[in-house]
Structures are given as structure tokens and as C-alpha cells.
Amino acid sequence: MMKAEKHPASNPSEAPMLGDHLAMDLLNTEAMVDGKTVDYWGSGEDVLGWMARHGIAPADADGPLDLEALLARGRTLRTLVRQLVEQRKQGSVGDTAPIAALDAYLRAHVSAPHLARDSEGGLTLTRQARAEPVASMLGRLAEATAQLLVDGDFDLVKQCQHPECVLWFYDRTKAHKRRWCSMALCGNRHKAAQFRKKAAL
């Protein structure tokens, strides 16, 4: 029965959305499935689809979207975020170079407040992207990461404890005892392995 359960990272087309934080889900676009590394960002379209599932879309007004740049710069950003999150998890604030590199993504993420009448006759104030679409979209990920590095509780930034799983999550449970990317999957894999160990004694 347990064998029929699929690891959350085993869907070949879509990265798991279980990180409970945008930066964690960004890291989880690379996963281990059956001992092999899987990159869910295989193309610019993959990145675009992933962004859409996280509510991030390019604004039409910003001109055409360069999918190749979205993939290349997105992957570079992901590497940076991994480096900074891992360094922070090990107790360091982070090296100067990756911090400056992340900051470059933030500086490219230009937006302005936008005041307009809404359909009900009132006024709305929103923020409108002012940069080219790739910078705007990746800027959202960079900002979520920067916020995490500054304000996040890194005791709650965790990696799944299953030895064959590399997924990250932000532990928002009340007791802060979350150990698995998914209790139903990695949690059960662990329980089954413990059971086998006991049975073998």
C-alpha cells in the first residue's frame, strides 16, 4: 500500500508546493526522485508556469517576455538563494558576494505606487512594476528571500529529515515539530523503514 504512494517530487512536470514559503518552494524546484536529481525548471515555459502557480505573472505593459533570460537568470537566482539559505542555516549571515548578487536582483526590481479609480467609483493604490518583466518576476522571488534572511526564524527553516529527500519547508506548525516535507509520504517511508529494522532484529 505504501509503495503506491508517490513522493511529492515525483510528478515529472510540476515542482511540489509544500514549502510554505516562496523561497522554500523556489529551492524545491530541484528535488531528488528515486535517488536522481530532478530540475523542474527545464525551460523558460516551466519557469513561467511555476510563477503562475505562485501568482506571479508578467505585466503586458512591460514588453515581451524573454523566456531564455527568465530560465537562465532564474536558475542563477535559485543557486544564490540555496547558497544563502544553507549558509544561514549553518549559522553564518552569508558571504558578501552572494549577498551583493541577491541585492542586484532587488535593485532591478523597480516598482512605483499606482493610484487609480476602481470600477466601484472608489480609489485603489497598488504597486506597479516598472522594470522589464524578467527583472520584475525574479525580483519577487529575490524580495521574498531577502525578507526571509532578515526576518525569518531559521530554526523553522528545515529540510525534510528523510535521507533520500532534499525538500525544504518553513515550519509553520504550532508546535514547530514538522520533520517531513509530507507526513503521508516521507513520514510514512520513515515509519516503514523503522518497522523493517525492528522486524529484522
Site residues, Zn ion (CB under 5 A): 160, 162, 165, 167, 181, 186
Give pairs for 120-128: CB < 8 Å, separation 24+.
Answer: 128/59
C-beta of 102 vs 181, nearer to Zn ion: 181
SS3 37: strand
Identity of the residue, 71 or 160, whose beta carbon is nearer to Zn ion in the bound complex: 160
DSSP codes of every residue in 58-82 = --GGG----HHHHHHHHHHHHHHHH
**All cell numbers assigned to 169:** 519547508
Quote the DSSP letter at residue 128. Answer: E
CB of 75 to Zn ion, least distance (A): 22
Q: Least distance in Å: CB of 123 to Zn ion?
A: 46
What is the C-alpha separation between 95 and 98, in angstroms, rounded? 6
Which C-beta is closer to Zn ion: that of 81 or that of 186? 186
Shortest Cβ 34–Zn ion spacing (Å): 13
Beta bridge partners of 115: 125
The residue (of 92 and 161) whose beta carbon lies closer to Zn ion is 161
Minimum CB–partner distance for residue 193 and Zn ion (Å)? 13
